[in-house]
Amino acid sequence: MTIRFVTSNAGKVREAREYLDDDVEQINYDYTEVQSDDLGEIAVTGAKEAFAETGGDDPVVVDDAGLFVDALGGFPGPYSSYVEDTVGVERVWNLVEREENRRAHFRCVVAYYDGETAETFDGAVPGRIVAPRGEGGFGYDPIFEHEGETMAEMSTERKNAISHRGRALAKFADWLTEN
Ligand code: ITT
Ligand code: NA
């Protein structure tokens, strides 16, 4: 089976390819991101729209993720993409730099839709915000540290083993095998 991963983010596709046995094809379709605090709702709505608008029979997957910083009341959360594009990750570190509590977590929801069945799979990973380190990964990876390493310092395999997306992909892969 081919899974059509609807995203503009090649980093997500790289991680999914390393995780899933199925073929993963990137589809650059810009689905509507509904305004919601619920990553699952955003992803399912996007998956249904992408399936309807792009044609084709292969199932689609949409992945909605975000960084939630405790000391900032969960910011940037659902606005993570906008914040990365406008202020950038270095300045998110600057916002947290003087805080005593630098805890944060990443969340990810993978939504699957095949024209009939819609399913979501989620994952989260705790960590802390640090000064940028590392060249790998993408997005907020350089400022997100988990067990002593930033996600940008990890191999894709290591990131998948512990990350929000890896956990969501693991549930998704189990579900695919059972269905
Ligand atoms: P698509 O919506 O096209 O899939 P996107 O990069 O905008 O691509 P999201 O809205 O899910 O994807 O991502 C929200 C932000 O969080 C965005 O700035 C990403 O770079 C970042 N992000 C998502 N997953 C991440 C990860 O595993 N590590 C670091 N940053 C991540
Ligand atoms: Na998104």
Give me the percent of the chain exceeding a pLDDT of 70.
Answer: 100
Question: Of residues 57, 64, 70, 174, which has the active-site annotation?
Answer: 64
Per-residue pLDDT reduced to its tens digit, 118-132: 999 999 999 999 999
Q: Mark whether 38 is an active-site residue.
A: no
In the chain, where are the structural domains located?
Answer: 2-178
Do residues 140 and 152 make contact, with C-beta atoms less than 8 angstroms apart? no
> Between the CA of residue 51 and those of 2, 17, 22, 30, 48, what are the distances in Å?
14, 20, 18, 12, 5
Indicate whether this complex's ipTM tops 0.90.
Answer: yes
pLDDT score recorded for residue 154: 97
How much is the average pLDDT of 60-85?
Answer: 95
How much is the average pLDDT of 38-57?
Answer: 91
Ligand 1 centre from 80 Cα, in Å?
A: 7
Ligand 2 centre from 178 Cα, in Å?
A: 27
Does 66 sit in the ligand 1 pocket, CB within 6 Å?
yes
pLDDT averaged over the chain?
Answer: 95
Ligand 1 centre from 152 Cα, in Å?
A: 14
pLDDT score recorded for residue 35: 77
pLDDT score recorded for residue 41: 87
Local confidence band at 33 (pLDDT 50, 70, 90 cut-offs): confident
Ligand minimally distant from the alpha carbon of residue 107? 1
Q: Which CATH number fits domain 2-178: 1.10.1040.10, 3.40.1190.20, 3.90.950.10, 3.30.420.40?
A: 3.90.950.10
Alpha carbons 148 and 36: distance in angstroms, whole number = 33
